[in-house]
């Protein structure tokens, strides 16, 4: 059997960008023939992507496209398994290209976006090939395409882990930037109370009643206490009700700020990478022990 040296693995990895262990396996299978090993890797990329697709992809980035005139913009959340891959140049380029594609083609949903052409191949083919190349599952989770009633302003924070688009009429560029940063920091659920579901409010109301009852409050007061709790909740989760993060007095709400500036927020979108995705918590020591036990068998 031909000796598989580190330099051979390095050379194959540089040619294919496949993971190091996969390169070594391919070289072993090809008895050291670099050309044959490269062919083996190309064949295996599709299978590799299929296996990776079963793994949780809760990391990633938000890709952004913004038209120069501020009238059109898009955000795309693209997920992967690790933060390391979220910084990979090819992964970053995919997110950027997808945001541009959303803006230019306005697909109806992720399936429609996946069917669009990107650099001579479908988005899905491009994604699958990149999964094989990098060795991690990755997925397009969601996107939004916004056209402005006023002017759009964007804000990307934390290594593109948070993305904001806000459509503002009136005011100036600094106000719009401040509003986008506030949204990223305070994470409102909606612009005002009309955007908060009745189901969510009912849940808050029930919890408030039970807490008040356990605290020994009179039954006649429970509804009033619950309503006060709901109103406080709405101030916390609606953008207009929130206290502006840069308010000098610590009291000025976004609604009051907009009134003072003669401005209006028409709409906003906030994406937080991995929000709502259950991440796998691994015990590295347990995994190693399990692998060792399996090897003995």
Q: What is the mean pLDDT of the chain?
A: 87
pLDDT at 214: 87
- CB 169, CB 266: distance < 8 Å: yes
How high is the pLDDT of residue 187?
95
- What pLDDT is stored for residue 71 in this prediction? 97
For the segment 16-69, what is each residue's pLDDT rounded down to a tens digit?
767 778 888 889 998 988 888 887 876 665 555 455 555 666 789 999 999 999
How many Cα atoms are found within 13 Å in the side-chain-facing hemisphere of 110?
Answer: 10
Residue 272 sits at φ, ψ, to 5 deg, of -115, 120
Q: What is the pLDDT of residues 282-293, one digit of tens each?
A: 444 554 455 555
Average pLDDT (161-174) is: 97
> Cα 128 to chain center, whole Å?
19
pTM (two decimals) = 0.74
**Greater model confidence, 103 or 205:** 103
**What pLDDT sits at residue 21?**
82
- Phi/psi of residue 175, nearest 5 degrees: -60, -45
Of residues 81, 74, 85, 78, the one with CA closest to residue 61: 78
- Other Cβ atoms less than 10 A from the Cβ of 67: the count is 13
């Amino acid at each position: 059997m031909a000796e598989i040296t580190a330099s051979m693995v390095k050379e194959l990895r540089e040619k294919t960008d496949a993971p190091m262990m996969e390169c070594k396996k391919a070289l072993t299978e090809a008895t050291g023939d670099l050309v044959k090993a490269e062919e083996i890797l190309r064949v295996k990329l599709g299978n590799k992507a299929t296996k990776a697709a079963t793994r949780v992809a809760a990391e990633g980035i938000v890709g952004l496209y913004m038209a120069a005139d501020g009238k059109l913009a898009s955000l795309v959340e693209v997920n992967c398994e690790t933060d390391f891959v979220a910084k990979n140049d090819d992964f970053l380029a995919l997110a950027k290209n997808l945001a541009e594609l959303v803006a230019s083609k306005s697909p109806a949903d992720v399936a429609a976006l996946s069917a669009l052409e990107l650099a001579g191949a479908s988005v899905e083919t491009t994604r699958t090939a990149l999964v094989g190349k990098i060795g991690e599952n990755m997925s397009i989770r969601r996107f939004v395409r916004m056209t402005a009633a006023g002017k759009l302003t964007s804000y990307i924070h934390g290594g593109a882990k948070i993305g904001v688009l806000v459509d503002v009429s009136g005011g100036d560029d600094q106000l719009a930037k401040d509003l986008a940063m506030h949204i990223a920091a305070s994470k409102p659920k909606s612009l005002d109370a009309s955007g908060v579901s009745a189901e969510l409010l009912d849940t808050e109301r029930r919890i408030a009643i039970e807490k008040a009852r356990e605290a020994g409050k009179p039954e006649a007061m429970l509804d009033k206490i619950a309503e006060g709790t709901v109103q406080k909740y709405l101030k916390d989760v609606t953008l207009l009700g929130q206290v502006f993060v840069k308010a000098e007095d610590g009291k000025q709400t976004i609604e009051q700020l907009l009134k003072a500036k003669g401005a209006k927020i028409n709409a906003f979108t906030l994406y937080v990478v991995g929000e709502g995705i259950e991440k796998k918590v691994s015990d590295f020591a347990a995994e190693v022990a399990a692998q060792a036990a399996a090897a003995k068998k």
